[in-house]
Amino acid sequence: MKTHFAPFTDLEDIEQAPCGTWLGESSELSGDWANVDCRLCQKRKKKLTKSSAAEERAIIEQMGDMAAFMRAQG
């Protein structure tokens, strides 16, 4: 059983790990690199971490935009 890196929390409908591996019944996911034993995830650690950080920044920016809009409305 391999544990793949998954930086997100909504794991219900995921069929493929961020490393590209299709997930099976025995696959595990973790956002903690200490628990990740997939060699492909480990090989792509820098890229996966960078991608995850970019996605987080985009979400934070969007939340800031929404907050500014709400302040302007109210």
| pLDDT for 24 | 87
33 near 5, Cβ under 8 Å? yes
pLDDT above 80 for 74: no
Domain that holds residue 59: 3-73
Handedness of CA 36, 18, 54, 11 (dihedral sign): negative
7 near 52, Cβ under 8 Å? yes
Number of structural domains found in the chain: 1
Predicted confidence (pLDDT) per residue in 10-59, tens digit: 767 788 999 999 998 888 999 999 999 999 999 999 999 999 899 899 99
Q: Report the C-alpha gap between 37 and 11 in whole angstroms.
A: 18
What number is the average pLDDT over the span 47-72?
A: 93
| pLDDT for 12 | 75
pLDDT above 70 for 9: no
pLDDT above 90 for 67: yes
